[in-house]
Structure 1
């Protein structure tokens, strides 16, 4: 019998509610030692689906980095032990960059500068084969000193270039009722 994707993830880190750094619509972000951040999706009923989503985020992040986009450094996908729940959950671990400003918190000159950069990056993403499903100001971190944008949160992103495809598992999971992607 084949092992599930979740079963083959390496065990790595431990988290608890004291480590929550950010609560998003679909996931919680937890701080872990040495400037790392783990993303744990809120819905945990279907571990294989959640594991697919975590691995998908890792693949998109790596592909963005390969193409020269600024993304937090990727550490990988792991089984994360949640002390409060007493269970292991799949999690995507990357560098913690939340010391940077979210684009939706900027105003004035800074906002104008980064908004223009944001539009330019969106055009380039599409040229490079990315289909950013959740490319919004809340998912853009801005380094005001270096004048750089860092992209985060790729759950709903796809990559389609020539014969290579990285398609979000969410579309298959929704039984293709609304989406015909593949």
Structure 2
């Protein structure tokens, strides 16, 4: 399990300030890690210049570099763009101008997924807690962390609903869709 990096009460380092800002906004820890990764990579790409000393031109150069030299996919470039837009617009309060950069044309790969029969076969060969979690994931569309955080009081058998707490996008209720197991 990931443990968030400790931050000083009064952060002085730039990245600690960004980390603190993200946590105060209640963003997911995975988002924090991803954004900080791309912010660090952007800073390194520009020879350790401080982001306040850079702007749209440097962001455009970095995003174009990801496609032209690093062969990044559309989604990778989009995540980097989101991290930098967040950094400039939200944290530094310096919205970026209309960005013009080389966009990735790398075709998106379709994920390989189980058919219903394959999923049923896998689940039938599991037992105990593993089977229960697999059935919840498949039958309700829960994410792994959402399933692992479920508590007994989150399961409503009468209404056939699950209460999802701290899920992506906030609080929600899900109804299982497949009871064939």
| Bigger relative contact order (CA 8 A; separation at least 6) | 1
Whether these two folds match at TM > 0.5 is no
Given the two structures, how large is their TM-score scaled by the length of structure 1?
0.30
Higher Cα radius of gyration:
2
Given the two structures, how large is their TM-score scaled by the length of structure 2?
0.30
> Which structure has the highest helix share of the two?
2
> Which structure has the highest strand share of the two?
1
